[in-house]
Amino acid sequence: MESTSWNNDKIGIERLTREEERLDSLYKQEQQKLEALYQKQKESDSHASKYLENVFRQIYELGCSFISLLETYFPIERKKGQSETKPTLTTGVYFDMQLVSLIHNECNNIQFENLSELDLYVLLNLQRTNVKLIVKSREGERMCYLIFKLYEYLKADNKKEWRFAILKTTGIKEDYYKSKYKAPVSEFPSRESKEFAERINRIFKELS
């Protein structure tokens, strides 16, 4: 177009102008199609995002927790010969939700893997559940101290049976527990263990 204009070629300029207009029209049409496709993609992504999170496992675990709580108050009669996994200690309410909530706020996803408050309540009260209490790496010593404080706080004649059951639940061996449960309040504890013991002691002091 520029070279044609220098040559003062009017016919050439008109031809190239028409060609430019034609191509510009085609470009705008394709641009509109592309914008329509982008809009469809945006709508499709928005619709699909509703189903990205799989909540069925959460619903299942919550349902198991509710069932274990219901069975505490309304035991289900089972047919003779029907297999049933019995806990090592009679289920019940050994710790109330207030204490469980305070421990959950302090320890959840720190000393043990992430759990809901209800799951922790069920586990500490040795009620039937499929949820696991998994001690995090390098937190065994502090978990032993927490179990020791719960053991001290527990008002029950079968405290030792409860401790045996909760150690089995957490996968902590009794020999390890006996050698580590007072480490956070020993003469030379680590800074993390010392601060943890102070926070845990404060919880039980508030409830005493």
Model confidence at 172: pLDDT above 90? yes
193 near 181, Cβ under 8 Å?
no
For residue 79, the model assigns a pLDDT of 46
Q: At 155, which amino acid appears?
A: K
pTM as predicted = 0.58
In this predicted model, what pLDDT tens digit does every residue of 21-78 receive, in sequence order?
Answer: 888 889 999 999 999 998 988 888 777 776 666 666 667 667 777 776 676 666 655 4
| Measured distance CA(43)–CA(36) in Å, rounded | 11
For residue 129, the model assigns a pLDDT of 87
For residue 72, the model assigns a pLDDT of 61
For residue 14, the model assigns a pLDDT of 81
Q: What mean pLDDT is reported for the chain? A: 83
